[in-house]
Amino acid sequence: MTQGLTLEEVREFVEKSLSSKIPRSVVEELISVLSRYLDKLTIEDLMKIVKSVEEEYNENLVDPGEPVGIVTAQSIGEPSTQMTLRTFHYAGVRELNVTLGLPRLIELVDAKKVPSTPLTYVYLEEPYKYDRDKAMEIARKIELTRVANVVSRVDIDLVANAIILSLDPDMLRDKGVDVDTVIQVLRKSIKKADIAVNQENPYEVVIQYKEPINPLKAEKIRDRILNTKLKGIKGINKVIIQRRGNEYVLVCEGSNLRELMDVEGVDHRKIRTNNIKEVEEVLGIEAARTLLIEEIANVLEEQGLEVDIRHIMLVADMMTRTGSVKQIGRHGIAGSKESPLARASFEVTVKNLADAAVRGGVDNLKGVAESVIVGNYAPIGTAIVKLVYNPYIKVE
């Protein structure tokens, strides 16, 4: 047996004979697989392989007319009946709850503005990446810290006209805040009071109001103080540091892409959130599409349900094709169909009919639902064929 071919020869041959006929990814894969067998490969084998690759690809192509939409809907809908409803699951992060399973899937196809459990994975850049302390630094910087987070006790003294905050030294250290910053922030937000540290206890902040506190409003005042932002980014409620391989990643509850990407030390190329609408606004529709595909695939895979990626891609394409993320349902794709009959047969029947009447709407009966209603063949599958053979016509 003659000893094999070189990689270059193989590459050249494969490229020449296949690159115009089959997708790039397959060509690459074939070459990489072949490279493992170089020593055994003969030119005859190579020709045989190339031929059967081409044949098999043509064999595996979709049939024109295939109702891919319906197949897709079924392929996602059918396994979803087998999903567990358990909303909360630990997705690697024991500290955070993540919505998964059917509720998350519904949330995705609903194109909800904010997911019920928004999450952001913040990857870090060089100096911060491998150092836990430096990662911690960023985590402290971005985590939204309110006064409530560092206070252990609030007293409202109506006689002395003061509100006394007892700060928790442990929490202060944990959040990286000192008493001075608390006082400064409070001074900025509260204009009508003197703020100072209690002389006897360095962890007690006294907010001395000039005017008497209205007892009825005391609750409100307290809440406003507690909700005052000390530092961090709006929306990032909790940050957890996680080790992945040899680098540290910040997992944040909540999302705020625009501001997070601006933070020094954050790798803006790798940052990732599960908030589709936000990605659409910040990074654009293509990014939203990609994220949508990944999120849906992720939900299905986590439940151990295999669904071909093509189906998920079709759903995502349909949702994003107008340039903005549209919901699957009456306020999105189904609601913006041209055909009044198709809309009426889905939801809000009477309203859609009235609308069609007012506008003098026309239904061209091109879609599936309309065709079924009037009793025509639906233009899908075998019915897209318009060529009919007439055996009675004589050919000269």
Partner 1 sequence: MTVTEEEKIVSMIKFGILSPEEIRKMSVVEVKSTETYDEDGLPVPHSVMDPHLGAIDPGHICPVCGNSIKGCPGHFGHIELALPVINVIFIKYIYDVLRAVCANCGRLKLPQKDIERGLKYYRKLNERHPYLARRFSEYIKKRAIKTTVCPHCGYKQPKLKLTKPITIEEYNEETRSYIRLNPLVIRSRLEKIPNEDVELLGFDPQESRPEWMILTVLPIPPIAIRPSIMIETGIRSEDDLTHKLVDIVRTNERLKEHIVAGAPQIIIDDLWELLQYHVTTYLDNEVPGFPPAKHRSGRPLKTLAQRLKGKEGRFRGNLSGKRVDFSARTVISPDPYISINEVGVSVEVAMKLTVPEKVTEWNIEELRKCVINGPYKWPGANYVVTPDGRRIDLRYVKDRKSLAESLAPGYIVERHIRNGDIALFNRQPSLHRMSIMGHIVKVLPGRTFRLHLAVCPPYNADFDGDEMNLHIPQTEDARAEARELLKVQYHILTPRYGGVIIGGLQDYISGAYLLTVKTTLLTKEDVMELLSSAGVVKELPEPAILSPRELWTGKQIVSLFIPPDFNYHGKASISAGHLKCEDIECFWDSYVVVRTGKLLMGVLDKKSIGAEQQDSFFYFLVKEYGADFAVNFIDSVFRMFIRILEKKGFTLRLDDVAIPEKAKNEIIQMLMESFKKVQEYVDQYVKGVLEVVPGRTAEESLEIKILEILAEARDKAGEIAVGYLDPFNHAFIMARTGARGNVLNLTQMAATLGQMTVRGERIWRGYMGRPLPHFSVNDLGPIARGFIVNSFYSGLSPTEMFMHAAGGREGLVDTAVRTSQSGYMQRRLINALMDLYVEYDYTVRDSSGSIIQFLYGEDGADPAKAPHGKPINVERIVERVIGWKL
Q: Angle at the Cα of 324 (from 349 to 290), degrees rounded to 5?
A: 120
CB of 224 to partner 1, least distance (A): 26
Applying the rule CB under 8 A, the residues between 38 and 57 that interact with partner 1 are: 40-41, 45, 48-49, 52-53, 56-57
Residue 212, Cβ density class (10 Å: 0-12 exposed, 13-18 middle, ≥19 buried): exposed
| Nearest C-alpha neighbor of 7 from the set 24, 30, 53 | 30
Rounded CA gap, 149 and 227, in Å? 9
CB of 111 to partner 1, least distance (A): 11
| Under rule CB under 8 A, residue 384 binds partner 1 | yes
CB of 381 to partner 1, least distance (A): 7
Applying the rule CB under 8 A, the residues between 5 and 24 that interact with partner 1 are: 22-23
| Under rule CB under 8 A, residue 72 binds partner 1 | yes
| Under rule CB under 8 A, residue 376 binds partner 1 | yes
| Under rule CB under 8 A, residue 362 binds partner 1 | yes
Note whether 192 and 211 are within 8 A (CB): yes
| Under rule CB under 8 A, residue 145 binds partner 1 | no
| Under rule CB under 8 A, residue 68 binds partner 1 | yes
Applying the rule CB under 8 A, the residues between 172 and 211 that interact with partner 1 are: none
Applying the rule CB under 8 A, the residues between 305 and 324 that interact with partner 1 are: 306-311, 313-315, 317-318, 321
| Identity of residue 249 | V
CB of 383 to partner 1, least distance (A): 10
Rounded CA gap, 71 and 32, in Å? 33
Rounded CA gap, 214 and 318, in Å? 56
Applying the rule CB under 8 A, the residues between 239 and 298 that interact with partner 1 are: 240
Distances (CA, A) of 89 to 85, 93, 103, 303: 10, 9, 12, 11
Q: β-strands 247-253, 145-146: how paired?
A: unpaired
Size of the site for partner 1 (CB under 8 A): 109
Applying the rule CB under 8 A, the residues between 80 and 139 that interact with partner 1 are: 80-81, 83-86, 88, 94-96, 102, 105-106, 109
Indicate the residue among 194 and 338 with the shorter CB distance to partner 1.
338
